[in-house]
Amino acid sequence: MNRPSSSRIGALIAAQRRAQRLRLRIAAATGAIVAVAATCLLGLSGWFITSAALAGVAGSAAVQAFNYMVPSATIRLLAILRTGARYIERVSGHEAALKALARLRPQLFDALASAPPSRALALASGEASARLVQDVDAVQTLFVRLSAPWALGAGAASAALVAGLASPWAGALLLASMALCAAGALLIARRLAAPAGQAVQIAVGRLKDRLAALEAVSPELKAYGLDRWAATQAAEAAADLDQAQVALTQAGGWMAAWQAVVTGAAVAAVVPATLGASLPLTALAALAAVMGVESVAGLVGALQQNGAAEEAARRLEALPSALHPNRAPVSVAPTLVLQADGAALHPPARLGLIGPSGAGKTTLIERLIGLRDAQPGEARLGDIDVADLTPEDRRPLFAYAAQDVRLIDGTVRENLLLAGPADDDALWRALDDAALAERLRADPAGLDARIGPNGERLSGGERRRLGLARAYLRPAAWLVLDEPTEGLDPATEAQVLKALDRRLKQAGQGLILVSHRSAPTQLCDRTIRVEGVGEDGRVGLAPARRLTPA
């Protein structure tokens, strides 16, 4: 079976193969035992049944002389050996694959998260999900099927030897039949299974991308009565996936049919080659031929999945990654200087960014904290231009609550712990400061209350406050809030801002606040007006204005 040619993914897979070497060797060894035991079991069973039948025909004297104890005991031993070895092979092979994927998936996610923003954000969320889930799952065949060549080799050798007991020509013809079966399966795999497997992986990515895009705007689709249109869009993407899966299944059917044809031809060739041998040995050779060709089935299964595995590896290789993965982190001072007036701001300073909608306020802070590529000369951290710092160097300085809150389909606790480790007391304090604790204490599940996909069981204001509580839990020099009280009623807004003021004083954090509302900006001692993004891509800023905090 082919290995992925991609250098980065190939290196990661090779590293996991080395880490799971013992389990993979156990799977290969037991796979070989299964093939040998299955071939000998069927061959010996055919010999035993035929011999017993002939002894019965020969009369009572032959029956009394026939030794049935040793063959029957051997058959039982081979059956137990095959069953036990198959169990060990499956457990070892799948355990190795699952452990490898459990380590591979976080490595790929970390590479994507630390990639340059212009590349990482260019990948749609649905497509990224498909690559980190379905494509990584498809790669597991590169681990599970490693035992197939060993099983094939052991099966071929044992089948040829068993058939050779009847006639050397029978063993040679059986080996030729097995080679023919493998060659035909390889040809079908290349012509039919590989393109179909590649199409399946691509279609899965397109379907998840389409579904993620539609889900993100589901309220608008319902509001404008576009439910049927959305369902049609999803059905078209699903139809493409169904068509690819049908093609892959048909390829598997052709491979199975080819194997059946070769099995019949192998038996038809082996039986005449045993001319002159006893009937029990002929039966032994015929059934050995069946099991010999059957031992190719593992390789056939691997070939059927090869196209999907190769396409998955190619798609994973295309995932963005860090430009300098082994680069040592740079120590950056939390002093912030914006080009508007050159004033150095140190925590616990509080800066408000104001301006009309679409002026570039969110763009500016996303460039600052490393979610977008920064423009040279726009800002400095310490004495270093932000554009000269990697996102990994900048992000530890900032705790960010975005205007568009993203939540996972899990519990309140799981969403909060994305910020980092924290005990329940810290979680409740953050929820208290976000004016959300009372709502959750009324829920019997408390912190373990499920919020649904992207927090659909919460209101818009509750989702925003849960994102705010999550930002509170991240220890950082600067707390960056983008419209934190948008959509809140005046009483709740006042409660949130009072708790925010108290929390900032206690933690000594600096604040960078974006808001259209006047109440939040009263917490700031300095504001800068954002005037828009120029033709050169730089965000225009007006000189800072000092305020007297409320």
Indicate whether 534 belongs to any domain. yes
306 and 371 fall within a common domain: no
With H, G, I as helix, E, B as strand and everything else as coil, classify residue 324.
coil
d(CA 200, CA 133): 14
260 and 403 fall within a common domain: no
Indicate whether 354 belongs to any domain. yes
Question: 454 pLDDT band (50/70/90 cuts)?
Answer: confident
Q: What is the pLDDT of residue 66?
A: 64
Span 321-347, pLDDT tens digits: 765 566 666 788 899 998 866 788 999
Residue 4, pLDDT > 50, answer no
Q: What is the pLDDT of residue 341?
A: 67
307 and 376 fall within a common domain: no
**Arithmetic mean of pLDDT, 113-128:** 76
Count of domains observed in the chain: 2
> Residue 403: which domain range?
336-546
Residue 311, pLDDT > 90, answer no
Indicate whether 325 belongs to any domain. no
Residue 283, pLDDT > 50, answer yes
277 and 342 fall within a common domain: no
- The proportion of the chain whose per-residue pLDDT surpasses 90, expressed as a percent, equals 40
Indicate whether 476 belongs to any domain. yes
Per-residue b or e along 57-90, where b marks 16 or more CB atoms closer than 10 Å to that residue's CB: eeeeeeeeebeeeebeeebeebeebbeebbebbb
198 and 340 fall within a common domain: no
Do 476 and 394 contact (CB within 8 A), yes or no? no
299 and 363 fall within a common domain: no
Residue 2, pLDDT > 60, answer no
Structural domain ending residue among the three candidates 317, 345, 379: 317
Span 515-524, pLDDT tens digits: 888 889 999 9
Q: What is the pLDDT of residue 43?
A: 84
Structural domain ending residue among the three candidates 285, 317, 349: 317
261 and 376 fall within a common domain: no
What is the CATH classification number for the domain harbouring 388?
A: 3.40.50.300
279 and 307 fall within a common domain: yes
- Amino acid making up residue 2: N
d(CA 230, CA 221): 8
Indicate whether 328 belongs to any domain. no
Contacts of 115 (CB under 8 A, 6+ apart): 319, 320, 321, 322, 323
283 and 367 fall within a common domain: no
Indicate whether 54 belongs to any domain. yes
Residue 466, pLDDT > 60, answer yes
Mean of per-residue pLDDT scores for the chain: 87
Indicate whether 1 belongs to any domain. no
d(CA 205, CA 228): 22
362 and 227 fall within a common domain: no
37 and 91 fall within a common domain: yes
Residue 550, pLDDT > 50, answer no
Indicate whether 2 belongs to any domain. no
Residue 417, pLDDT > 80, answer yes
Nearest to 290 by CA among 270, 269, 267, 274: 267
What is the CATH classification number for the domain harbouring 293?
A: 1.20.1560.10
510-514 and 526-533 beta bridge pairing: unpaired
Span 210-222, pLDDT tens digits: 988 888 788 888 8
Beta bridge partners of 381: 336, 384
355 and 460 fall within a common domain: yes
